[in-house]
Amino acid sequence: MVDSILVMRKLSEMEQYLDQIREFASLSLEEYSANWKAQRIVERTLHMMIELCLDIANHFISDKELRIPVSYADSFKVLEENGLITASIYEVMSKMAKFKNIIVHHYENIDASIVVMILRKHLEDFLLFRDAILKQLTRAGDEVGL
C-alpha cells in the first residue's frame, strides 16, 4: 500500500523548496550567471525537488509492483504508462530527471539559460506533478474506504 504519509511529507518538502526558489525566478540570465550564490542555491534546490519527485515516483512503482525503471527519466515513463501521470507531465519530469543528472554529474557544464528557463517557465510543473500524485492518493483512499 502506498504510504500516503510519506508521500505527503515529500510533497510538502517539495512545496517548501518551491516557495524558496521562487524568489530567484525574476533573475535575468545575466544576473543569474554573475551570481554564484544564486547558482548554488537554485541548482541545489532544483536537485532536491527533482529527487523528491523521483522518490515519490519510485515509491508508487514499488508499491504497485510496476516494471523496474532503467533510468531516472524512465521512472516517470513508468508512471505515465500506468496512467498515474499524463504524457505532458511525463515529458517535463523526464527532462527534469535528465537535468538532475547534469547537476550532479556534469556540474561544470550547466547551461545557465536552461536554469533560468526552468525558473521562469517550469516551476509550476512541479505543482502539476503534485496534483497528479494527490489524485492517485485520493483514489487509493477511496479504494480502501477512507
Average pLDDT, 10 consecutive residues per value, the chain (146 residues): 94 98 96 96 97 98 96 97 98 96 84 95 97 92 51
Task: Give the model's pLDDT for residue 105.
Answer: 87
Task: Give the model's pLDDT for residue 145.
Answer: 44
The per-residue b/e assignment along 22-49, b for 16 or more CB within 10 angstroms, e otherwise, is eebeebeeeebeeeeebbeebbebbbbb
Cα–Cα distance measured from residue 68 to residue 17, given in angstroms and rounded to the nearest whole number: 28
Task: Give the model's pLDDT for residue 32.
Answer: 97
Cα 34 to Cα 31, 77, 117, distances in angstroms: 5, 36, 16
In this structure, which long-range contacts are made by residues 137-141, counting pairs with CB atoms below 8 Å and at least 24 apart in sequence? 137/2, 137/4, 137/7, 137/8, 140/1, 140/2, 140/4, 141/4
Q: Is the dihedral of CA 98, 103, 109, 110 positive or negative?
A: positive
Residue 52's Cβ-side half-sphere holds a number of Cα atoms within 13 Å equal to 24
Task: Give the model's pLDDT for residue 143.
Answer: 54
The per-residue b/e assignment along 68-78, b for 16 or more CB within 10 angstroms, e otherwise, is ebeebbbbbbb
Task: Give the model's pLDDT for residue 133.
Answer: 97
Range 4-143 has CATH code 3.30.70.2740: no
For the chain, the average pLDDT equals: 93
Task: Give the model's pLDDT for residue 53.
Answer: 98
The pTM (predicted TM-score) of the whole model is 0.92
Cell numbers given for 50: 527533482
Task: Give the model's pLDDT for residue 22.
Answer: 97
Task: Give the model's pLDDT for residue 144.
Answer: 44
